[in-house]
């Protein structure tokens, strides 16, 4: 068995175990979050976003809805005044990253991994093209990634892709674990989210 295949199997096994355990731990909080979303704004609890996965395949990624239903389907940084589209609890959900919890479903399905480049929106052509040119589209997108812990919303697209490419070259279970620890620290500190 090749080293690359061994890594892929180990990574997938790690994803399934961790996502399964976290899903069980957060099962009750998820019910309360869903109720809070429903009670504080009109519309569905979940927002299903068309995202670009491995090999540039489109898949639907769930999040707890943190924005109003009339929000344009573009990257948040492209909205004129993103804060004006937030639901009453949207800012809290985004700053705490609790809006990302439903993506555990995508990890269990195999559309995503715990660590990898964040999945691009279906219409982020500049990001998709740059990633494809660098070979990053061969990776399974992640709940968090190297670019996430090095700037998140604050990074311009070329810088994100450079970090994604660095992850492609350096990927290992040890590096993934380091990124997960750095992500946890970022979430606790509320760093890297502009709204």
| Structural domain spans, the chain | 3-189
Rounded to 5 degrees, what are φ and ψ at 139? Answer: -90, 150
Quickly state the pLDDT bin for 70 (edges 50, 70, 90).
confident
pLDDT: is 189 or 20 the higher one? Answer: 20
User: What pLDDT is recorded for position 12?
Assistant: 96
Q: Round to whole Å and give the CA distance between 190 and 1.
A: 41
Rounded-to-integer distance, Cα 144 and Cα 136, Å: 15
- Phi, psi of 155, deg, nearest 5: -85, 135
Helix (H) / strand (E) element for 21: namely helix 3-25
Q: What is the pTM of this model?
A: 0.88
Distance, CA of 105 to CA of 20 (rounded, Å):
9
In this structure, the number of other CB atoms found within 10 A of the CB of residue 147 comes to 23
Residue range 9-36: average pLDDT? 96
């Amino acid at each position: 068995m090749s080293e690359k295949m061994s890594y892929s199997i180990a990574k997938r096994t790690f994803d399934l175990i961790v996502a399964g355990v976290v899903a069980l731990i957060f099962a009750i909080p998820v019910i309360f979050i869903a109720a809070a979303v429903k009670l504080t704004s009109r519309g569905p609890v979940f927002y299903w976003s068309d995202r670009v996965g491995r090999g540039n395949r489109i898949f639907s990624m769930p999040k707890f809805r943190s924005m109003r239903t009339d929000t344009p389907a573009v990257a948040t940084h492209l909205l004129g005044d993103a804060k004006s589209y937030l639901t009453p609890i949207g800012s809290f959900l985004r700053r705490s990253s609790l809006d990302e919890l439903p993506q555990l479903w995508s990890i269990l399905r195999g559309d995503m991994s715990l660590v990898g480049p964040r999945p691009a929106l279906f219409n982020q052509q500049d990001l998709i093209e740059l990633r494809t040119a660098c070979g990053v589209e061969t990776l399974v997108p992640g709940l968090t990634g190297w670019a996430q812990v090095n700037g998140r919303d604050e990074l311009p697209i070329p810088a994100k892709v450079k970090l994604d490419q660095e992850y492609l070259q350096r990927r290992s279970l040890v590096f993934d674990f380091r990124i997960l620890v750095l992500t946890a620290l970022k979430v606790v500190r509320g760093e890297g989210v502009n709204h």
